[in-house]
Structure 1
Amino acid sequence: MTRYEQQRDFLKSNFHEFKHIKTDKIKGLAQPPIVKPFDSNSLIIDLPKVSKDVVSNENIFDCINERRSTRFYSTETLSLDELSYLLWATQGITGMNKNGNTLRTVPCSGATHTFETYLIIMRVDGIGQGIYRYLPVEHKLLFMFELDELEQKVDAITLDQPFVPNFAKKASVMFAWSTTPYRSEWKYDISAHKKILIDVGHVCQNLYLASESIGAGACAIGIYDQKLIDEILGLDGDEEFVIYLGAVGKKRE
């Protein structure tokens, strides 16, 4: 039982310990960038304006009741309008607070929003296969690069899934959320890491419900090759690394 104790302690609130810590914010250190910068000369793809017209099921009760992890997908592609909606639902910016931090469609501890959204796109209308990054401030897509043997790489990233092997490559798109921990550590120090894990759960749940509302299905993926996905996305694995994956595709009848 002792081998579980440290991880169990991590799950508990450490407020009494935290309140005696002088965080980098209290020390007056500069706040880290609220979003990851990008080269404006890169290929930037405009996303359609988010519209509820893509929603086929507006009943939130039904969306919650019918939500399941979906591992079987049809050959139907996602539309660019639907992808735009899913990106907005999971990390879309709806305002700014008085400190200049983004307010989004998902709750987040202290509006720190440590996540970046990368996409491995396989079957989306009007978008070539490859690796992309969502730019939430602009609500645009940054094309990063094409990926040779994309489906085989997705298989390698997602390892041996216990229920339906190799299902992720049959999705339309795989979301890969990275975290930049210092965005939260700056404000919360040792309390940051529990908050980050809680916050990414909010993000993925919105993906589930938004997918359900457009007749698609999502499946969270927590079993993946950490080193491989970080290397593919060009992340250093320390200051930024992937923390969660989610596959999305239209449901198979």
Structure 2
Amino acid sequence: MSNPVTRSLRGAGREFMRRTEYGNLPPSDQMLGRPSPPLEVPYTKEKATVVLPAPGSIALPALDLHDAIERRVSTRDYASEPLALSELAYLLWSTQGVKRAVGGVFTLRTVPSAGARHAFETYLLVNRVEGVTPGLYRYLALEHRLAEESRDPDLPRQIAAGCLNQPHIIKSAVTFLWAAVPARMTWRYGERGYRYLHLDAGHVCQNLYLAALGVGCGVCAIAAFDDAAMNRLLDIDGDEQFLIYVATVGKMP
């Protein structure tokens, strides 16, 4: 006998696509003249922050784009060598760097996003980065700095377990955890915006793969995780903010 939960979910993907067709959508909040959500989730915790080196301050070896695309693979084995703080800053800038904020309504960044909505918050599980205490951090893209979330020493094990026990999370120098803030996207596009969140996640992670090669790192994207468990670990509610994609990073062995 089939699982009743499985039966109830059958066709959910097709139903989502049908119900988010343009012809089925009511006016968006933008169309109704409502104010746009904040460009970044405010950081209110009284904990340490880390000022990051300017993106242009890192000297990178010349890397041909064709060569980078040709060499791009998922890498799960990493050397014990830590990342330099400037290298982490470069990867953060490459994936969510803000080039310009326009009127508090939208930002222009280093990756494409539907309507320049840029609906992600970047969390980092830091294991080995020079000058940064291991723990969980959030990238404050508008200020280009890291904000501490937790120094729980058990977090690497818990996050690996939440990602269905994938061991390269513990071996990584840094694990990127991208959380979506759907209101930033649905303000313009309504429920169809949920489609665009997943498209944007692909843009961000591909930039990470290509940029990582320039600093001698490998990357492995992860989409298999326990949603509820991971949202709890990030201290987000799973509704107004939820984990959408994960990627490990480490120096090539």
TM-score, normalization by structure 1:
0.90
Equivalent in the alignment of 2:162: 157
Which residue of the partner structure matches residue 220 of structure 1?
A: 221
Deviates most, 223-232 or 76-85: 223-232
Indicate if the aligned counterparts of 1:10 and 1:194 stay in contact, CA closer than 8 A.
no
Counterparts of 1:43-62 in structure 2, within 5 Å, are 43-51=48-56, 53-62=58-67
1:196-211 correspondence to structure 2 within 5 Å: 196-211=197-212
| Distance in 1, Cα, partners of 2:12 & 2:249 | 34
Of 99, 112, 121, the residue aligned with 2:117 is 112
Query: Which amino acid is 1:159 matched to?
Result: L
Comparing 104-113 with 144-153, greater Cα deviation is found at 144-153
Is the 2:117–2:185 Cα contact (8 Å) retained in structure 1? yes
Alignment of 1:159-238 (within 5 A): 159-161=164-166, 166-238=167-239
Question: CA shift at 1:149, angstroms?
Answer: 1.9
Partner letter of residue 131 of structure 1? L
**Backbone CA RMSD of aligned residues:** 2.0
* Aligned counterparts of 2:184 and 2:151: Cα–Cα separation in 1: 29
Tell me the residue number matched to 1:95: 100
Aligned match for 1:14, one of 8, 21, 25: 21
- SS of 2:55's partner is coil
Paired with 1:199 and 1:214, the residues of 2 have a C-alpha distance of 23
Task: Judge which range, 212-221 or 89-98, deviates more.
Answer: 89-98
Percent sequence identity is 38
Q: Would you say the 8 A contact 1:57–1:214 is kept in 2?
A: no
Q: Offset of 1:11 from its aligned partner?
A: 5.2
2:153 is aligned to 148
Residues 182-222 of structure 1: per-residue CA shift (max 9 Å, x gap): 11111111211111110111011111011112110011000
Q: Which residue of 1 aligns with 2:4?
A: none
For structure 2, the residue ranges without an aligned partner over 5 or more in a row are 1-6
**3-state SS of the aligned residue for 2:244?**
strand
For the 8 Å contact 1:57–1:63, the answer to whether it is kept is no
1:102-138 CA-to-partner distances (Å, cap 9, x unmatched) read 1100000111111000000001111110010001111
In the TM superposition, what is the alpha-carbon distance from 1:237 to its structure 2 partner? Answer: 1.2
In the TM superposition, residue 151 of structure 1 has moved relative to its aligned partner by 3.0
Give the 3-state SS of the residue equivalent to 1:51 in structure 2.
helix
Are the aligned partners of 2:50 and 2:145 in contact in 1 as well (CA < 8 Å)?
A: yes
Q: Deviations over 1:85-105 (max 9, x none)?
A: 000000000113467311100
The Cα offsets for residues 127-163 of structure 1, whole Å up to 9 and x where unpaired, read as 11001000111100101120232332232122144xx
Q: Which amino acid aligns with 1:206?
A: N
> Which deviates more from structure 2 when the two are superposed, residues 42-51 or residues 63-72?
42-51
CA contact (8 A) 2:58 2:87 kept: no
Give TM-score scaled by structure 2 length: 0.90
The answer on whether the counterparts of 2:36 and 2:105 sit within 8 Å (CA) in structure 1 is: no
Distance apart, 1:61 and its partner CA: 1.1
Q: Which runs of 5+ in 1 are unaligned?
A: none
Q: How many angstroms does 1:77 deviate by? A: 0.8
Q: Which moved more, 1:126-135 or 1:223-232?
A: 223-232
Q: SS state of the match for residue 73, structure 2?
A: coil
Q: 1:239 to 1:48 in 2, by over 3 A?
A: same
Alpha-carbon deviations, 1:217-246, whole Å to 9, x = none?
011000112222211111011111111101
Identify if the C-alpha distance between structure 1 residues 24 and 57 changes in structure 2 by more than 3 Å, giving closer, same or farther. Answer: same
2: CA distance, partners of 1:54 / 1:159? 37
Give me the whole-angstrom Cα distance separating, in 2, the residues matched to 1:192 and 1:181: 7
